Structure formats: structure tokens, C-alpha cells
């Protein structure tokens, strides 16, 4: 059994809050917007809980859960599409600038 002492433990030194802030700065779109949308739908669901009419509580909760999950998945999809756009379409193509035969 080998014991590797070269491993860095810097990832264990960071707290969860600092990891979240760093990740939010790196990828601005999906996490904060998805979490804010989830919280907004949650608050809206609590607000409309009393005025749901004759709808059962379980059905109301299922609708709110589906709405919140849909918002988060939508935010993740838009964020992924935006990052793919940045990576594949906004970067200059290396083969266009290196050879004169393609221009």
C-alpha cells in the first residue's frame, strides 16, 4: 500500500460559503439565478397556500415543486447554452489565422 504525501489539501481548507462565492463569480448565470428563481417560487407557493381554493394540499405542493424544478433546469440549460456559445462561436478559429491557403 503506497502512501502519497504529495496531495494538496487546499480544497478542504475552504468553507462552503467561500466555494459558493467563488463558483458564483466564475459562472455568473446558472447558480444564482436558479437559486433565486427557486426561492421566488417557494415564497409564491407559501403565499398562495391559503388561497388555493378546493385544491388538495398535496397537489398544490406537487405543482410548486415541478415549477421550481423547471425553473432551475431552465436556468441550467440557458447557462450551458451560453457557455457553449462563448466557447465555440466567439473564440477565433486557430486554423483560419495560421494558414494563408484557407483565406
Q: pLDDT tens for residues 66-103?
A: 998 888 888 888 888 888 888 888 876 666 555 555 55
DSSP string, 44-87: HHHHTTTT-TT--HHHHHHHHHHHHHHHHHHHHHHHHHHHHHHH
Instruction: Write down how long the chain is.
Output: 103
- Nearby residues of 2 by Cβ (< 8 Å), 6 or more positions away: none
Cell of 11: 480544497
Q: pLDDT tens for residues 20-66?
A: 677 666 666 667 777 788 888 888 888 888 888 888 989 998 998 99
Cell of 3: 502512501
Domain map (residue ranges) of the chain: 31-45+57-83
Please choose, from the candidates 79, 95, 97, 98, the residue with its C-alpha nearest in 3D space to the C-alpha of residue 87: 79
Predicted structure pTM score = 0.55
Amino acid at each position: 500500500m503506497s502512501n502519497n504525501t504529495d496531495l494538496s489539501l487546499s480544497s478542504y481548507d475552504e468553507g462552503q460559503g467561500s466555494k459558493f462565492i467563488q463558483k458564483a463569480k466564475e459562472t455568473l448565470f446558472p447558480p444564482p439565478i436558479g437559486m433565486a428563481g427557486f426561492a421566488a417560487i417557494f415564497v409564491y407557493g407559501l403565499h398562495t397556500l391559503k388561497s388555493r381554493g378546493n385544491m388538495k394540499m398535496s397537489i398544490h405542493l406537487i405543482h410548486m415543486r415541478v415549477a421550481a424544478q423547471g425553473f432551475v433546469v431552465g436556468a441550467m440549460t440557458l447557462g450551458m447554452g451560453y457557455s457553449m456559445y462563448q466557447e465555440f462561436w466567439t473564440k477565433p478559429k486557430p486554423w483560419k489565422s495560421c494558414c494563408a491557403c484557407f483565406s
